[in-house]
Amino acid sequence: MADQQGKTLVVVTGASRGLGKAIVVEIAKALSNSPAHKKTHFLLIGRDTDGMEQTWQEAQDGIAEDAQLTVAIHRCDLAGPLEDVGRAFDAILSSEWAVSGPFHQVYFIHNSANTGPLDSIRDISPAEIRTNLLFNIGSPFLLTSRLLRFVAPNDGAAPPRAKRLRIVNISSLAAKVAIPAFGLYCMGKAARDMLMLQVAAEEKGTTECDVKTLSYAPGPMRTAMTEPMFEGKCASESMIQSFRDMEKNNTLVDPYVSSRKMVRLLLEDKYEAGAHIDVFDEDTETNSQTPSN
């Protein structure tokens, strides 16, 4: 159960389209109808400013009239050099806390990701490996590190800035299962799941801030990230056919349905720190059983 006092901050990366857009829309709708989150500030981070503005426009349609929801949109290339990403993120956090804070509770959603080259391991180049791992592993690791240091410092020099911090990694069944031609994607998702487990282990009881992590697998869906599968741009014919069959049989997951389940998990707050939860776990709204986000 969320704390009943103070203002909430929701940070979402990759919020300009697809699942990221759905997450923002569904979180805004749910929090605006929650007494504990009537005052919520959204911080959207990504490369596509116009897309993020469109996301926020869509989010306005479902919020309660008495809610006090605000937004800040920051353009930041999370695939850039880590030093630049770190400096930019530090500045964004400090600025938003000063202008729109303080915040009693923080939800941070690691959504930004890409599949990388959909090729066999033997055919992926060093440059492709470096670029993909920097974005899909290095960037979320750095953002998590900076977020913890800012919101929940444990050096004794200053008290935590918030009482509660929830960090969500958008995961996939690919974190658990090897999928042909998805080698870099699978490795990245597995590493991000471990990052959430590591944070859960390291942060338990270290500060007065209640820190909890979750890896949420939203299921297979048609978004810009998975479009190459439907266009046949993948080294695995079986995976191309699998996605095409799911579309034909109407068993792809709707991003908004999946996002609603994730929001319920966050608000109920009953999951174990570091847990990996799939959209199909005890699910009542979706019916597909095929990998991956």
The CATH number for 268's domain is 3.40.50.720
Would you put residue 231 in left (φ > 0), alpha (ψ -120 to 50) or beta? alpha
Note whether 62 and 25 are within 8 A (CB).
yes
Average pLDDT over residues 119-147: 97
Domain-embedded: residue 118: yes
With beta carbons less than 8 A apart as the criterion, state whether 43 and 74 touch.
yes
**Predicted local distance difference test score (pLDDT) of residue 211:** 97
Residue 284 within a domain: no
Count: domains in the chain: 1
Percent of the chain exceeding pLDDT 90 equals 83
Is 164 buried (19+), middle (13-18) or exposed (0-12) by CB count in 10 A?
buried
Pairwise CA distance, residues 129 & 92, whole Å: 29
Confidence (pLDDT) at 25: 97
Does residue 272 belong to any structural domain of this protein? yes
Model pLDDT, residue 293: 54
Residue 37 has pLDDT above 90, yes or no: no
Q: What is the pTM of this model?
A: 0.92
pLDDT at 19 over 90: yes
Structural domain span for residue 146: 8-226+254-278
Residue 44 has φ and ψ, to the nearest 5°, of: -105, 130
Q: What percent of the chain stands above pLDDT 70? A: 94
Q: Does 247 fall in a domain?
A: no
Q: What is the mean pLDDT of residues 124-143?
A: 97
State which H helix or E strand residue 245 sits in: helix 237-248
One-letter amino acid for residue 162 of the chain: A
Q: Is it the case that residue 93 has pLDDT exceeding 80? A: yes
Q: What is the pLDDT of residue 117?
A: 94
Domain membership flag for residue 108: yes
Q: What stretches of 89-194 adopt beta strand conformation (E)? A: 105-110, 164-170
176 inside domain: yes
Q: Is residue 153 part of a domain?
A: yes
**172 phi and psi, to 5 degrees?**
-170, 160
Angle between helices 126-133 and 183-203 (to 10 degrees): 30
Residue 245 in any domain: the answer is no
Query: Are residues 40 and 32 in contact, defined by beta-carbon separation less than 8 angstroms?
Result: yes
